């Protein structure tokens, strides 16, 4: 890849990077404070904080999705294969779906618990919540692996979003 292509590579905006890395922090925080047993929700202050956190995460995710889809373009080089472009879209969309499903199902669990509902409806919500969490780990792993692949490929994709270990600008002389 020549130096002119790397220099002309679309960069993600500061806001896009803030959303990306901010969600990494929010996700880690959410996982670190997770409820281990549904009966912990009997503590009304914990239940309220979980509901507020889930609602805030959904709101921020919606803002992020709108911003990213309206203002940002892919950093994949134009000569990227159609398979790779489609795979990138599937992984990104799957990350958004799971990032929404986790707090949404968490909200359902909290609301159903607060309403005193037991049985299959809570179990279904918990199962969907746990499935979303398990699934997102796979998509995060694929996303990180693809980022590392692009770092070694030195095509500008890594440097468009990652603030460290920038790709070297090389030419095909």
Distance CA 154, CA 79 (A): 14
Say whether 132 sits in a helix, a strand or coil: helix
pLDDT at 170: 53
pLDDT band at 16 (very low <50, low <70, confident <90, very high): confident
Query: Minimum mean pLDDT among 56-60, 89-93, 117-121, 130-134: which range?
Result: 117-121
Q: Which residue has the higher pLDDT, 70 or 160?
A: 70
Model-level pTM? 0.83
User: What residue segments make up the domains of the chain, in order of their start?
Assistant: 3-75+86-161
**SS3 sequence of 29-53:** HHHHCCCCCHHHHHCHHHHHHHHHH
Whole-number percent of the chain with pLDDT over 90: 49
């Amino acid at each position: 890849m020549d130096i002119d292509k790397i220099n002309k590579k679309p960069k993600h905006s500061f806001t896009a990077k803030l959303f990306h890395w901010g969600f990494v922090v929010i996700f880690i925080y959410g996982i670190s404070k997770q409820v281990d047993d549904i009966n912990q929700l009997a503590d009304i202050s914990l239940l309220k904080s979980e509901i507020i956190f889930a609602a805030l995460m959904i709101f921020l995710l919606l803002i992020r999705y709108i911003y990213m889809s309206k203002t940002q373009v892919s950093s994949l080089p134009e000569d990227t294969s159609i398979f790779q472009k489609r795979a990138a879209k599937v992984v990104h969309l799957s990350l958004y779906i799971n990032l929404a499903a986790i707090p949404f199902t968490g909200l359902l669990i909290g609301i159903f618990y607060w309403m005193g509902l037991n049985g299959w409806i809570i179990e279904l919500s918990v199962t969907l919540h746990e499935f979303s969490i398990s699934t997102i780990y796979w998509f995060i792993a694929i996303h990180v692996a693809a980022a590392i692949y692009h770092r070694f490929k030195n095509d500008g994709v890594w440097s468009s979003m990652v603030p460290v270990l920038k790709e070297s600008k090389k030419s095909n002389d």
